[in-house]
C-alpha cells in the first residue's frame, strides 16, 4: 500500500470515528458542543544558511541549508466534540492534524476521555486520553500563546501534552486550591504503549485574587517514571511554577529539574534540541570509546519566563526566555540551549488571533568538532502566526 493510500485510509477512518461519535452524542439528546481551531504560520529564517542541519562530509561537520528559507505551514488543526450524556457523565473527543517535515498530514487523537462528576463533591474522574496534570493548566494560565509555540514543559520534551490513563481533578476552598493526580502510560499520545513503565504525576496550585486586580498562581508538581523490568532505571521530575496578573501585566515562569538513569554501556549524555543531524555529530566527537561502566544518573532541567502586556484595541505585547540543559552534571555538558522570543499580537475577534514575532535559539557549544569553525549558528526566525477558531 502506498503512503498516499495509507494517508487517505487513515483520514477516512478518523472521519468515520468522528461521525460515529457525533451521531452517538446527538442520539443521547443531551447538550453537544462542536468546536476547534487551526494554527498556521509563515516562517522566514534570517541566518545565512536559512533552515539548516549539520552533516558529516569526509570526517568534517558542516552546515547544510538553503539560504533565505521561508515557508507557509499549517501546524495544527483541532476538531473537538463534547457531549453531556447526563449531569454526571461527560465525554470529549479531539482530533489533531499535524504536518510533518515531509509535508504529509498526520492525524492523531489528542483527547478521548470519559469524565465522571459528582461521585466526590467538587471532583472529576477522567478515563482515557487526557491532558496530564502539568499540561493544559500550565499552558493556559502561565504561557497563554499556544498559537506561537508550546509551553516550556512540552517544547523541551519533559512531558507530552496528552497521555493515556486515569486522573482525578479536585477543587477546595471554592476553587482557590485545585489539584490533579494521574497515572499515565508515559508514552504520550503519538506512541503505542509498550508497558515499559508508568508515570505517576501530580500538581497542586493556588489561585488567589482576581485577574483584573491582582492574581497570584503558584504551582508545584512531581512526576515519577518507574520501569517495569528494573527498579534501577527511573526518570523523576520536580516542577514549579508561578504566575502573577496585575493591572494589564501578566508574568509567569516555569522551573523543571529531573534525574534520568542511563544504563551501563551508554553515552553519559542526553540529546538536546539541536537541528536535525547535529546530535549524531556531537556524539561522534565526544570520545565514543568512553562508555559507562555502571549506571549513571543524569540531571537535566531548565526554566522559562513569560511576559504579556495588554494594550488597547485588542493588542498585546509578549515575550519569553527559555534556558534548557539536558545534562546539567555530565562531563559532556556542551549542549545547553537558550531561546528567546518577542512579538505583538492582535486579536480583533475571539475567533481570530494574529502575531508578528521574532525568535532566536542559541547553542552553548557552536564548534562541534573543535576545528575552529562554528557548526551550530544561532537560529534567527521571523514568524507570522495566526489562529482561526470555530
For residue 382, the domain's CATH number is 2.40.160.10
How many angstroms separate the CA atoms of 336 and 282, rounded? 13
* Residue partners of 142: CB distance under 8 A and separation at least 6: 151, 217, 241, 243, 252, 253, 254, 306
What one-character-per-residue DSSP string does 141-183 give?
A: III--TTT---HHHHTTSS-S-EEEEEEEEEETTTTEEEEEEE
Indicate whether 276 belongs to any domain: yes
What is the domain count for the chain?
1
Range of the structural domain that residue 350 is part of: 38-74+132-389
How many angstroms separate the CA atoms of 147 and 343, rounded? 12
Indicate whether 21 belongs to any domain: no
Quick one: CA dihedral 363, 368, 371, 377, positive or negative? Answer: negative
* Residue partners of 238: CB distance under 8 A and separation at least 6: 221, 222, 256, 257, 258
How many angstroms separate the CA atoms of 319 and 308, rounded? 7
Q: For the chain, where are the alpha helices, taking DSSP H only?
A: 3-27, 136-138, 152-155, 278-284
DSSP code of 275? S
How many angstroms separate the CA atoms of 359 and 340, rounded? 6
Grid coordinates given for 99: 504536518
Q: Are 101 and 120 in contact (CB under 8 A)?
A: no
Indicate whether 342 belongs to any domain: yes
How large is the C-alpha radius of gyration of the chain?
A: 22
Q: Are 256 and 228 in contact (CB under 8 A)?
A: no
Enumerate helices (H) and strands (E) in the chain, giving the number of each: 4, 19
Indicate whether 108 belongs to any domain: no
pTM over 0.75: yes
Query: With bands split at pLDDT 50, 70 and 90, how would you rate the model's confidence at 109?
Result: confident
Residue 362, beta-bridge partner list = 338
To the nearest 10°, the Cα dihedral for 185, 337, 361, 305?
70
Q: For 174-200, how does the pLDDT look when each residue is reduced to its tens digit (9 = 90+)?
A: 889 999 999 998 877 776 677 777 889
Q: Are 295 and 260 in contact (CB under 8 A)?
A: no
Indicate whether 14 belongs to any domain: no
How many angstroms separate the CA atoms of 259 and 234, rounded? 8
Residue given cell 549513571 in the structure block: 296
76 vs 273, residue with greater confidence: 76
How many angstroms separate the CA atoms of 199 and 240, rounded? 18
Q: Report the pLDDT averaged over residues 1-28.
A: 51
Collapsed DSSP state (helix, strand, coil) of residue 280 = helix
Indicate whether 138 belongs to any domain: yes
Query: With bands split at pLDDT 50, 70 and 90, how would you rate the model's confidence at 1?
Result: very low
- The answer on pLDDT for 215 being more than 90 is yes
Q: Are 38 and 388 in contact (CB under 8 A)?
A: yes
∠ CA 331-334-336, rounded to 5°: 120
How many angstroms separate the CA atoms of 110 and 97, rounded? 9
Residue 313 has, within 13 A of its CA and on its CB side, a CA count of 2
Collapsed DSSP state (helix, strand, coil) of residue 2 = coil
pLDDT score of 270: 58
How many angstroms separate the CA atoms of 249 and 216, rounded? 12
Indicate whether 285 belongs to any domain: yes
* Residue partners of 231: CB distance under 8 A and separation at least 6: none
Indicate whether 28 belongs to any domain: no
Grid coordinates given for 108: 492523531
Query: With bands split at pLDDT 50, 70 and 90, how would you rate the model's confidence at 336?
Result: confident
Phi, psi of 248 (to 5 degrees): -110, 15
Share of the chain above pLDDT 90, in %: 51
* Out of 79-88, 178-187, 215-224, 271-280, least confident range: 271-280
* Out of 45-54, 61-70, 349-358, 366-375, least confident range: 366-375
Amino acid at each position: 500500500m502506498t503512503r498516499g493510500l495509507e494517508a487517505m485510509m487513515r483520514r477516512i477512518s478518523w472521519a468515520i470515528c468522528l461521525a460515529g461519535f457525533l451521531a452517538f452524542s446527538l442520539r443521547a439528546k443531551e447538550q453537544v458542543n462542536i468546536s476547534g481551531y487551526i494554527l498556521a504560520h509563515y516562517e522566514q529564517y534570517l541566518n545565512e544558511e536559512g533552515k539548516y542541519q549539520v552533516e558529516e562530509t569526509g570526517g568534517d561537520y558542516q552546515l547544510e541549508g538553503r539560504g533565505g528559507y521561508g515557508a507557509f505551514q499549517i501546524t495544527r488543526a483541532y476538531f473537538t466534540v463534547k457531549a453531556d450524556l447526563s449531569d454526571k457523565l461527560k465525554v470529549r473527543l479531539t482530533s489533531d492534524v499535524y504536518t510533518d517535515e515531509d509535508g504529509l498530514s498526520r492525524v492523531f487523537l489528542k483527547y478521548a476521555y470519559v469524565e465522571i462528576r459528582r461521585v466526590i463533591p467538587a471532583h472529576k474522574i477522567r478515563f482515557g486520553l487526557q491532558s496530564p496534570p502539568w499540561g493544559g493548566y500550565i499552558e493556559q494560565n502561565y504561557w497563554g500563546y499556544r498559537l506561537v509555540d508550546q509551553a516550556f514543559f512540552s517544547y523541551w520534551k519533559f512531558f507530552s501534552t496528552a497521555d493515556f490513563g486515569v486522573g482525578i481533578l479536585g477543587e477546595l476552598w471554592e476553587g482557590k486550591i485545585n489539584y490533579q493526580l494521574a497515572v499515565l502510560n508515559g508514552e504520550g499520545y503519538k506512541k503505542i504503549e509498550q508497558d515499559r513503565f508508568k508515570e505517576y504525576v501530580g500538581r497542586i496550585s493556588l489561585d488567589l485574587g482576581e485577574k483584573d486586580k491582582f492574581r497570584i498562581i503558584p504551582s508545584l508538581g512531581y512526576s515519577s517514571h518507574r520501569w517495569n523490568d528494573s527498579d534501577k532505571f527511573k526518570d523523576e521530575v520536580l516542577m514549579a511554577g508561578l504566575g502573577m496578573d496585575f493591572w494589564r501585566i501578566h508574568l509567569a515562569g516555569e522551573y523543571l529539574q529531573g534525574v534520568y538513569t542511563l544504563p551501563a554501556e551508554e553515552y553519559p549524555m542526553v540529546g538536546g534540541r539541536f537541528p536535525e543531524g547535529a546530535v549524531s555529530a556531537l556524539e561522534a566527537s565526544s570520545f565514543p570509546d568512553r562508555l559507562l561502566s555502571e549506571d549513571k544518573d543524569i540531571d537535566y532541567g531548565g526554566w522559562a519566563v513569560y511576559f504579556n502586556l495588554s494594550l488597547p484595541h485588542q493588542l498585546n505585547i509578549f515575550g519569553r526566555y527559555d534556558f534548557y540543559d539536558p545534562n546539567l552534571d555530565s562531563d559532556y555538558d556542551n549542549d545547553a540551549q537558550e531561546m528567546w522570543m518577542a512579538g505583538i499580537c492582535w486579536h480583533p475577534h475571539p475567533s481570530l488571533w494574529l502575531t508578528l514575532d521574532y525568535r532566536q535559539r542559541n547553542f552553548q557549544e557552536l564548534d562541534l568538532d573543535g576545528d575552529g569553525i562554528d557548526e551550530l549558528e544561532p537560529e534567527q526566525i521571523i514568524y507570522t502566526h495566526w489562529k482561526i477558531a470555530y
